Structure 1
Amino acid sequence: MNLGPFPSLTKRPLLHSLPYFTFLSLLLITCFFLYLYTNVLPFYTPPSLEPLTPRTSRGSCRASQETDNLPYFNGKWIEDPQKKPFYGEECPFHRNAWNCLKNKRENMEKINSWRWVPDSCALPTIDPFGFLGLMRNKRIGFVGDSLNENFLVSFLCILRIADETARKWKRNGAWRGGYFPKFNATVAYHRAVLLAKYQWQPLNSLEENQLKGIYKVDVDIPADDWIGVTDFYDVLVFNTGHWWGIDKFPKETPLVFYKNGKAINPPLGILDGLKVVLNNMISYIDREVPKEKLKFWRTQSPRHFHGGDWNENGTCLFENPLNNNQLDIWFDPRKRGVNKEARLMNSIVKHALLGSSIHLLDLAHLSEFRADAHPAIWLGKKDAVAVWGQDCMHWCLPGVPDTWVDILSTLIHERLVKKTGPAI
């Protein structure tokens, strides 16, 4: 039977329309995934709540019920040429003196090529997206001296990878901080160098050999900068240490300790005063910070002055980390070196924390090795070295504090999941 032109008429439109339908389908699928990526993915938290992935096949470290001495705190630095920092000099949260990339500090690539490897397990590297997903609608507060600020800046610059709309935040007495709108998360720092309240009191008269004045320390009253934020944050990280020395408070302007508004008698020396302040501040934290909040105490990281203290032309122009057999020579208080105070302070802190609800964040040992990682002479300001000496106390960013962030974020993750259980 001759069907004339009908077969060709029925086939041609279908053949001609296939490319059009294929193109239209691909366009719709592309638009759908683009919508997910730009509007939904930033607010997605993986159901497993496992934002941290170990680098090796070794098991993750876990705290025992009896101690906070996690294996994360003991290990060695391994050079890894493939290791790269999360952020660069452009991070808006940088503090100029620590922005070693911007300040053209030598060896920054090598400084950031060292990876901390715990002795018996794998240290996960923070996933900024996963961690902020875990911390959605939560707040982290750092309280203490400028070493906690150094820590904070590293944390902010890393987390900004997950939310480039992050903006500076300074409320509720915070010295500085960051807010991450996509996750409604806040990370901030409250400056309280002694933790306790202290204030300058000049003396009315000056006679030969008389004090210029005193710094009154109320051992039982927290500093104004953080006394009102104990229930504002979900995670708190405390520290104090570097200000407890005669270089900050010489004999002409000493610390004088008060309790219940009255001078403690007989007067306390600076280390005995530290012990009393720690006992009172830890008791206050245990009493006033709600039990469901996570509380950490970061140990003091060491200085690395060689050949003299900061005001004696001490230097830290090193190209490599120290090795293990050098550490006691540098830091053992019995050696009476210029960098001995960190171990001395940390032994006092650890003793004061016994029996408290505060978890020890012991970052001192891993930091002892890193004599190579301070700003040193690259401070970003003309004549800064002539006035202040080299900075062998704070840390270059990016740098060692990024490893502190890996450890703290891992501990926060483990303890939050332990409290709430993994998401289903």
Structure 2
Amino acid sequence: MTTLPFVGRRNQYLFPAALALLIFIVGLRIVLDNSKNSRSFFRLSGGGYRHIRVSNDEIIEKGCNIFEGKWVWDNVSHPLYTEESCPLLVKQVTCQKNGRPDSYYQNWKWQPDGCNLPRFNALKLLEILRDKRLMFVGDSVQRGMFDSMVCLVQSVIPEGKKSLTRVPHRRIFRAEEYNSSIEFYWAPFLVESISDNATNHTVLKRLVRLDSISNHRKQWEGVDFLVFESYVWWMFNSTIINATYVNLKNVQEYNVTTAYKIALETWANWIETNINPNNQKVFFMTMSPTHLWNWEWKTGDGGSCFGETQPIQHPYWGTGSNLDIMGIVKDVLGRLRVNVRVLNITQMSEYRKDGHASIYGERKGKLLTKEQRSDPKNFADCGHFCLPGVPDTWNEILYGVLLQDYRKF
């Protein structure tokens, strides 16, 4: 007699096992397929592993120059924040609150040729910065980049878990849950000068010590991410600057480009001897241009950036950017053994004559008077940018580079 019941019981066990195996294979296939479109990575932090998923559209394509492109109108995704959503902004950059009648400058997105910048993600950046310090070093233009970065991340941090502290020469934004900080350090020449007090400094009688950064470097030591910038303060008189070299009593007039090169070599020597490339990353931001003369981009009347509401949409390089300084940066950084990433924001910022504070900012710590606003030729600020605005794009680029580097960790 055939034992059919036994065969039935065998099939009864085989079928669920086969079904479970099939479900496992399908699930594995889905995971593998998804991995083609996104990448995950982990890092040990605070005693545990943190997980960030990075999709392909967040990765800057290999070989793409993100600094070449154009500004495109985008009033959907830009601005990335508003003046109202970031109460930490200072009056120097809150152009809308200060009376600027248009807001078009907030709605332009930088579109690189042949690739895209990743959408800024504050939570991912904060994860990258977990247990670390990001410091912007330079002048008030660089302080604008710091203010922008703080505005980009602060809204995702709960009240009571964030703080902004001002101490001499520094501003420190803390994200408590991430044990991280975003900082600004005032050093307009990178090397030491009589203008190193962030609030009480001379503008007209500038004196630079070309061979020393001994006070500054104490603040830079051990910082995980350093972003340096120095340009506008060198160009107050575009030909000469008072400086000392070795002998503090020997004050001489130096050609600006000669002095800049010596100063940058002093800074580069510190980078070479003090930066540990295994756990520190250094960036250098090229010059942020000024737009002082409107005849440079149109048939002008001797005016400035005042009243401009559109970017320049054709090839343009104005007198607000110095090619000799650009050459010095390329030469000095090119000789470094330590990798310093250049954030070449100059050309993209050249197009943005519309983004400046103009008469809607501050002068000597105070908003312009009615009389001063009526004289934009003499009082328009065509060096600093409004926020939200152009510096947000600089930070979008910095974020994209940090995200790409972090993915390789």
> Which of 161, 185, 188 is the matching residue for 2:183?
188
- Relative to structure 1, is the Cα distance of residues 60 and 314 closer, same or farther in structure 2, using a 3 angstrom cutoff? closer
Question: Does residue 393 of the first structure (1) align with residue 389 of the second (2)?
Answer: no
Name the amino acid aligned to 1:182: E
Q: Which residue in 2 is equivalent to 1:220? A: 211
Task: Say if 2:134 and 2:183, in contact at 8 Å, map to a contact too.
Answer: yes
Task: Say if 1:150 and 1:401, in contact at 8 Å, map to a contact too.
Answer: yes
Name the amino acid aligned to 1:371: K
Count of aligned residue pairs for this structure pair: 335
Q: Which residue in 2 is equivalent to 1:242? A: 232
Shift of 1:306: 2.3
Name the amino acid aligned to 1:320: Q
Q: The residue matched to 1:351 in structure 2 has which SS?
A: helix
Question: Does residue 111 of the first structure (1) align with residue 105 of the second (2)?
Answer: yes
Name the amino acid aligned to 2:280: K
Task: Say if 2:60 and 2:404, in contact at 8 Å, map to a contact too.
Answer: no
Shift of 1:214: 6.7
Per-residue CA deviation, residues 372-413 of structure 1 (Å, 9 max, x unaligned), is 111111126142545961011111100111111110011112
Question: Does residue 60 of the first structure (1) align with residue 60 of the second (2)?
Answer: yes
Q: 81-90 or 316-325: which moved more? A: 81-90
Question: Does residue 229 of the first structure (1) align with residue 229 of the second (2)?
Answer: no
- Relative to structure 1, is the Cα distance of residues 214 and 101 closer, same or farther in structure 2, using a 3 angstrom cutoff? closer
> Which of 52, 55, 80 is the matching residue for 1:48?
52
> Which of 165, 168, 174 is the matching residue for 1:169?
165
Question: Does residue 376 of the first structure (1) align with residue 358 of the second (2)?
Answer: yes
Q: Which residue in 2 is equivalent to 1:138? A: 132
Q: After the TM superposition, which residues 269-288 of structure 1 pair with which residues of structure 2 at under 5 Å, given as runs?
A: 269-288=255-274
Determine the C-alpha separation between the residues in 1 that align with 2:229 and 2:174: 22
- Structure 2 length as normaliser, TM-score? 0.74
Per-residue CA deviation, residues 278-335 of structure 1 (Å, 9 max, x unaligned), is 11111112212222200000001111122589xx86343212110223x03xx2xxxx
Task: Say if 2:289 and 2:383, in contact at 8 Å, map to a contact too.
Answer: yes
- Relative to structure 1, is the Cα distance of residues 344 and 92 closer, same or farther in structure 2, using a 3 angstrom cutoff? farther
- Relative to structure 1, is the Cα distance of residues 73 and 218 closer, same or farther in structure 2, using a 3 angstrom cutoff? same
> Which of 332, 339, 345 is the matching residue for 1:363?
345
Task: Say if 1:139 and 1:187, in contact at 8 Å, map to a contact too.
Answer: yes
Shift of 1:93: 2.2
Determine the C-alpha separation between the residues in 2 that align with 1:397 and 1:342: 25
Question: Does residue 345 of the first structure (1) align with residue 325 of the second (2)?
Answer: yes
> Which of 92, 95, 101 is the matching residue for 1:100?
95
> Which of 286, 289, 305 is the matching residue for 1:302?
289
Task: Say if 2:175 and 2:181, in contact at 8 Å, map to a contact too.
Answer: yes
Task: Say if 1:100 and 1:398, in contact at 8 Å, map to a contact too.
Answer: no
- Structure 1 length as normaliser, TM-score? 0.72
Determine the C-alpha separation between the residues in 2 that align with 1:73 and 1:308: 26
Determine the C-alpha separation between the residues in 2 that align with 1:367 and 1:77: 10
Q: The residue matched to 1:229 in structure 2 has which SS?
A: helix
Determine the C-alpha separation between the residues in 1 that align with 2:62 and 2:255: 39
Shift of 1:53: 7.3
- Judging by fraction of residues, say which structure has more strand: 2
Determine the C-alpha separation between the residues in 1 that align with 2:114 and 2:256: 39
Task: Say if 1:145 and 1:240, in contact at 8 Å, map to a contact too.
Answer: yes
Determine the C-alpha separation between the residues in 1 that align with 2:234 and 2:400: 30
Determine the C-alpha separation between the residues in 2 that align with 1:281 and 1:375: 31
Task: Say if 2:359 and 2:368, in contact at 8 Å, map to a contact too.
Answer: no
Q: The residue matched to 1:394 in structure 2 has which SS?
A: strand
Determine the C-alpha separation between the residues in 1 that align with 2:207 and 2:384: 27
Q: Which residue in 1 is equivalent to 2:148? A: 154
Name the amino acid aligned to 1:274: Y
Shift of 1:174: 4.4
Task: Say if 1:255 and 1:270, in contact at 8 Å, map to a contact too.
Answer: no
Name the amino acid aligned to 1:405: N
Name the amino acid aligned to 1:231: E
Question: Does residue 198 of the first structure (1) align with residue 193 of the second (2)?
Answer: yes
Determine the C-alpha separation between the residues in 2 that align with 1:214 and 1:82: 46
Determine the C-alpha separation between the residues in 2 that align with 1:343 and 1:180: 39
Name the amino acid aligned to 1:242: V
Gaps of 5+ in 2: 1-47, 196-203, 297-301
Task: Name the % identity.
Answer: 25
Determine the C-alpha separation between the residues in 2 that align with 1:417 and 1:136: 15
Q: 99-108 or 378-387: which moved more? A: 378-387
Determine the C-alpha separation between the residues in 2 that align with 1:263 and 1:188: 35
- Relative to structure 1, is the Cα distance of residues 374 and 164 closer, same or farther in structure 2, using a 3 angstrom cutoff? farther
Q: The residue matched to 1:54 in structure 2 has which SS?
A: helix
Per-residue CA deviation, residues 228-270 of structure 1 (Å, 9 max, x unaligned), is 023331100001000112449x97xx412212657488x6322
